[in-house]
Amino acid sequence: GDSVTQMEGPVTLSEEAFLTINCTYTATGYPSLFWYVQYPGEGLQLLLKATKADDKGSNKGFEATYRKETTSFHLEKGSVQVSDSAVYFCALCLNTGGFKTIFGAGTRLFVKA
Amino acid sequence: KAGVTQTPRYLIKTRGQQVTLSCSPISGHRSVSWYQQTPGQGLQFLFEYFSETQRNKGNFPGRFSGRQFSNSRSEMNVSTLELGDSALYLCASSLRTPNTEAFFGQGTRLTVV
């Protein structure tokens, strides 16, 4: 079935370190791909998205490229800040008659000053 | 513009009771989806409603049901509550295309005792 697999956390980094959170997916058809972020005590909010192969989504210094050949959508940031501490969710959205968004398990990121 | 509003924010119920959660989507959004978030299972899709009809359903027992009204507001009902139903229930609204983001409410924290 359709699914999203992302690296387990927590991930702990020092400020200004490089971040990669891996995400791979399995889907029938051609999904759109998303990264959502959940800050403590809040709901999820969209971080970035890509709707077709080779698209690069970017926002707030974060980037991810839709790689159809490897079915991946890894999240990267060159220099993390303490304020980036949150849970990051990779997700895909499919139209299967109805729209369904499937989320990965989430990766908690802690950034130390 | 107002965001997605979920009420109540917190609920405590006893095993065997039933509960109704409410979600008001962003104005103009006709698609409403519900998710259950738990530490062990992550974010799991419950169902999606569009134009008062359930369009897609996740793998949850029949105790979980929902409906959508003509103004796009949605309710989710859980009957015969079990301890394992304790979770954060998130509602998301969207314009219902696979390329557009879902906007999430802050969730309803349900505790079953």
Token pair recorded at residue A69: 């050949």
A57 touches chain B (CB under 8 A): no
Q: Chain B within 8 Å of A69 (Cβ-Cβ)?
A: no
Q: Residue B52 corresponds to which amino acid? A: E
Residue A30 confidence (pLDDT) above 70 = yes
Residue A2 DSSP SS3 = coil
Mark yes or no for CB contact A102/B45 under 8 Å. yes
Cβ(B80)–Cβ(B68) below 8 Å: no
Over the stretch B32-58, which tens digit does the pLDDT of each residue have? 999 999 887 788 989 999 989 998 888
Range with the poorest average pLDDT among A23-27, A53-57, B7-11, B92-96: B92-96
Residue in chain A closest to B97 (alpha carbons) equals A99
Six-digit token string for A67: 């790689």
SS3 A60: coil
Exposed e or buried b for every residue in A68-94, given b needs 16+ CB within 10 A? eeebbbbbebeebeeebbbbbbbbbbb
Please tell me the predicted confidence (pLDDT) of residue B41. 78
Band the pLDDT of B14: cuts 50, 70, 90. very high
- Tell me the pLDDT band of A107, cut-offs 50, 70 and 90: very high
For residues A42 and A38, give the distance between their C-alpha atoms in angstroms, rounded to a whole number.
6
Residue B23 identity: C
Q: What distance in Å separates residue A94's CA from the closest CA in chain B? A: 6
Average pLDDT on B83-90 reads 96
Whole-number percent of chain A with pLDDT over 70: 98
Q: Which residue of A has its CA nearest to B49?
A: A98
Least confident window among A25-29, A57-61, B3-7, B95-99: B95-99
Mean pLDDT of A59-69: 96
Chain B CB contacts of A3 under 8 Å are: none
Q: How far apart are CA A11 and CA A21, in angstroms?
A: 9
Chain B nearest CA to A46, separation (Å): 7
Query: Which residues on A lie below 8 Å from B50 (Cβ)?
Result: 98-99
Indicate the average pLDDT of chain B.
Answer: 92
B96 pLDDT tier (thresholds 50, 70, 90): confident
Q: Which of A45, A99, A106 sits opposite B56 (nearest CB)?
A: A99
pLDDT at A28: 83
Return the CA Rg of chain B: 13
Q: Which two tokens stand for residue A57?
A: 């989504």
Write the DSSP string, B49-109.
EETTEEEEE-S--TTEEEEE-TTS-EEEEE-S--GGG-EEEEEEEE-SSTTSPPEE---EE
